[in-house]
A and B are shown apart, each in its own frame.
Chain A
């Protein structure tokens, strides 16, 4: 129903008291906002909370959206502010995160609680597309992605291993992520 509408049209519909339009907007952007929060916070549980707070804040302020910027940039700005709020909260009360930080490596790999058949099928489809996108990368780009994401090597280690300059490693990884984004941009995905 809302699949053909642009982000701006969805916002306009949501401002006109159409809750389904805002739901469609959330469906379209929730995974990307979650990924941004994860990139800033580094923890899935906190990233999920930050993404939730982002859309709550967007819904409350949707009438203030003036349209002079893209919806995506508007959502990104709200998300960044939510992440910084969580970071400040962590710094103000570090004792609450003391135990959690020790198990950070374990918590990152905790599987999401959602395991309904629909979510499972959707995740399987999403991973299928990601696999195809990664394997379709040129070998020199895929090599850097694998070393960074799978081997968890630093840029310096990759540079020494491949015997290429550090800037080349970053450039290849940047190019790889950019190509992956282009291939994954149209996929209907939601927060895990």
Chain B
């Protein structure tokens, strides 16, 4: 913006310095120079006096009518009421309770974000610990959840009932007896009249010890057992 020199038509070259002098926008040295000029220049002195009068009139008007006015706080009317000592209504009280100072609100928001971030990080780290590799998971499944062959009965306990098997061939018979299909349902639902089991069944099979997945299992067990194979081999050797 190009500066153009203000020319006040009073015939003096220094008349442009009157306004900066009145409003104190010139340097101290310039003021001293213009002070001396005012003593000698009647035109600038009269001009300066006239403008000073107008300026002071406006200044006095501003001072008397506008300076005492309080600056209205339009942003938060309830805060003005509080500062003025006026009692608050219940609605203003609620607003005031929620209206935190800006810094405090900012700090609270930051703290909430930080807590959320830390919680998220903690959750992720704990889930990482819980997560295991796939091969480990497969092994665990194999160990903890053995496949149950519905066709096989828990043989070990049954095999360890040797009290009634004094001879060598007896275990094979016992095993053979066991290898017969077991009617579990019949064993479970056996009525009082059928409660007299045979000796061999008493010696070998204890229905109460047999695992029962459900009562609706297949009635007959046709599964191939290692004990059957062993028994066959021993029978053939005996022959």
Q: Does B67 contact A (CB under 8 A)?
A: yes
A134-B61 contact, Cβ under 8 Å, with A76-B49, A177-B55: yes
Q: Which residues of B line the A interface, CB within 8 A?
A: 1-6, 8, 16, 19-25, 35, 38-39, 42, 45-46, 48-67
Contact A174 B46 (CB under 8 A): no
Cβ A35 vs Cβ B61 within 8 A: no
Give the distance in Å from the alpha carbon of A126 to the alpha carbon of B56 in the complex: 12
Provide the residues of chain B in CB contact with A79, threshold 8 Å.
49
Does A39 lie within 8 Å of B52, measured CB to CB? yes
For A173, the chain B residues whose CB sits under 8 A away are 19
Specify which of B8, B60, B62 is in contact with A192 (CB 8 Å cutoff).
B60
Task: Give complex CA distance A181, B48 in Å.
Answer: 12
0/1 interface trace, chain A 45-77, chain B, CB 8 Å (1 if under)? 000000000000000000000000100110011
Assess whether A148 is in contact with B63, with CB atoms less than 8 Å apart.
no
Whether A149 contacts B62 by the Cβ 8 Å rule is: yes
Residue ID in chain B nearest A128 by CB atoms = B61
B16 touches A170 (CB 8 A): yes
A32 in contact with B49 (CB, 8 Å): yes
Residues of chain A lying within 8 A (CB to CB) of residue B35? 40, 80, 84, 87
Contact between B46 and A131, CB atoms less than 8 A apart: no
* CA A73 to CA B44, docked complex, whole Å: 10
Interface membership of A171, Cβ < 8 A: yes
Contacts of B51 in A (CB 8 A): 39, 174, 177-178, 181
Q: Which residue of B lies closest to A37 (CB)?
A: B52
Q: Which residues of chain A are within 8 angstroms of B1 by Cβ–Cβ distance?
A: 159, 165-166
List residues of chain A with CB within 8 A of the CB of B42. Answer: 69, 73, 77
- Expressed in whole angstroms, the minimum distance between the Cβ of B13 and any Cβ of chain A is 15
- CB < 8 Å neighbour of A178 from B46, B49, B54: B54
Q: A35, B63: Cβ atoms under 8 Å?
A: no
Which of B2, B39, B49, B53 is close to A184, meaning CB atoms less than 8 Å apart?
A: B53
Known: A35-B57, A69-B42, A150-B62. A167 touches B52 (CB 8 A): no
Question: Which of B2, B22, B25, B64 touches A39 (beta carbons < 8 Å)?
Answer: B22
Residue in B closest to A110 when the chains form the complex, CB atoms = B63
With both beta carbons as reference points, the residue of chain B lying nearest to A88 in the complex is identified as: B35
Tell me the bound Cα distance from A180 to B50 in angstroms: 10
- In the complex, how many angstroms separate the beta carbon of B42 from the nearest chain A beta carbon? 5
Contacting residues, chain A, for B64 (C-beta < 8 A): 123, 127
B39 to chain A: which residues have CB within 8 Å? 77, 80-81, 84
A192–B60 alpha-carbon span in the complex (Å): 9
Q: Are A109 and B67 in contact (CB under 8 A)?
A: yes
Q: Chain B residues with Cβ under 8 A from A26's Cβ?
A: none
Using A69-B42, A150-B66, A154-B25 as known contacts, say yes or no to A180 and B54 having CB atoms under 8 A apart: yes
- The smallest beta-carbon distance between B238 and chain A, in angstroms, is 120
Residues of A near B5 (CB, < 8 A) are 167
A112 CB to closest chain B CB (Å) equals 10
Chain B residues near A145 (CB-CB < 8 A): 58
Whether the pair A76, B19 counts as a contact (CB closer than 8 A) is: no
Closest-CB distance, A180 to chain B (whole angstroms): 4
Between A and B, 23 residue pairs with Cβ closer than 8 Å are A36-B49, A36-B52, A39-B22, A40-B35, A73-B46, A76-B49, A77-B45, A127-B65, A131-B65, A149-B62, A150-B66, A155-B20, A155-B25, A170-B16, A171-B6, A173-B19, A174-B6, A174-B8, A177-B55, A178-B50, A180-B54, A184-B53, A192-B60
